Structures are given as C-alpha cells and as structure tokens.
A = this chain, B = another copy of it.
C-alpha cells in the first residue's frame, strides 16, 4: 500500500513491491494471482469503510441536514483511518475492469449524498440558490481532496479535521454571524 500510494498503482511495479517486501517478484505470486488482484483487494477494503458510513447515515432517524453532516463527518474519519486504501480508490481512472467496477460503486455513494442535499434543501435547512448535485459534488470533492495533503499521525482519528470540514462547508469561513434561532435575541445569562 505504501508503494501504491507513493508511486501510483501503474508505476508501482511488482519488482518494486518485491524489493520493499524483501522478497522476489515470484514469491508475491504465491500469495496473489496478479497485480490487479492486489488492487481489487485494496479497493474492497476502501469500499467497506465508506459503505458502512453511508448505511449508518442513511438509517439515522434525523432531518436530512443532520444525516448529511453525519455522512460528511464520518466519511472524513474513515478516510483518515484508511488513508492508503481510500487514496488508491480515489485515484482509480477506469483503465481496467476492476477499476471500472470500483468507479461504479463510488457513484452509488455520490448518489446518496445528492439525495440528502436535495432533501435538506427542500426542508429549508440548506440554501436553495445552489444546484443540489453541484453542492453534493463540492462537498465530497472537499472531503476527497484530503488524501492529497492530510498525513495523520498514528492514532489520529481525524475528529478535529472532520469538524473543521463541517464548519467550513456548512457555516462558512467568514466570521460567525448570529445563528437564525439566536438572531436579535438578548443574551440570557446562565
């Protein structure tokens, strides 16, 4: 996985993998039938985490915004905890059959996100001046872009990062304006 991440799947030759493992190319083929099988295994692992998150967000008993926020938040933590696997998944281009199947499964996740955004807008919880499909893509573009720069320490669950993503995407970067429910209300001392 380290070699795949550093060089990219295509540029990571079996020779290079073997060197890093301290064995020969042919020894690898005792454990796995092909290079592509190695890729399939890794992609499977990435999907596992992401689909678990999607399932949980979907089954949550809460308004669409809340489910969407949960989906975004937990996607970040899964991404952080399975960084090499998710990175590989996100870099797949569809050159082979294995890659195309992975892309299809990713689209299912995109679809769920788009549904939640649409519903949240209908609820009046998200601004209606942006296209729902575009919002969904911007949101997950933001999440997915983390693989390009975030380098977690061992033990990092990505919790603060997930909160930062939620804050920027939902509340924006400009200084906090009063929340709707607090607007113009006098400050009540505790």
Could you list which residues of chain A lie within 8 angstroms of chain B, going by C-beta atoms?
Answer: 6-8, 10-11, 65, 90-91, 93, 95, 124-131, 134-135, 137-139, 141-142, 144-146, 148-150, 161, 164-165, 167-180, 183-184
The answer to whether A172 and B171 have CB atoms under 8 Å apart is yes
Q: Which residues of B contact A164 (CB under 8 A)?
A: 130-131, 134-135, 138
Q: A138-B168, A141-B148, A142-B145 are in contact. Are A179 and B177 (CB under 8 A)?
A: yes
Q: In the complex the two chains form, what is the Cα distance from A95 to B11 in whole Å?
A: 9
Q: Which of B127, B142, B173 contacts A175 (CB 8 A)?
A: B127
- Nearest first, the 9 A-B pairs at minimum CB distance are A172-B172, A141-B145, A10-B10, A145-B145, A171-B172, A184-B184, A142-B142, A177-B177, A10-B11
The answer to whether B93 and A8 have CB atoms under 8 Å apart is yes
- Closest residue of chain B to A184 (Cβ to Cβ) is B184
Q: In the complex the two chains form, what is the Cα distance from A73 to B174 in whole Å?
A: 16
The answer to whether A146 and B141 have CB atoms under 8 Å apart is yes
Q: Which residues of B contact A126 (CB under 8 A)?
A: 173-175
Q: In the complex the two chains form, what is the Cα distance from A65 to B145 in whole Å?
A: 23
The answer to whether A174 and B165 have CB atoms under 8 Å apart is no
Q: List 17 A-B contacts (CB under 8 A).
A: A7-B95, A8-B10, A65-B174, A125-B174, A129-B167, A130-B173, A134-B161, A134-B164, A137-B150, A138-B145, A141-B145, A141-B149, A142-B145, A168-B169, A171-B172, A177-B179, A184-B184
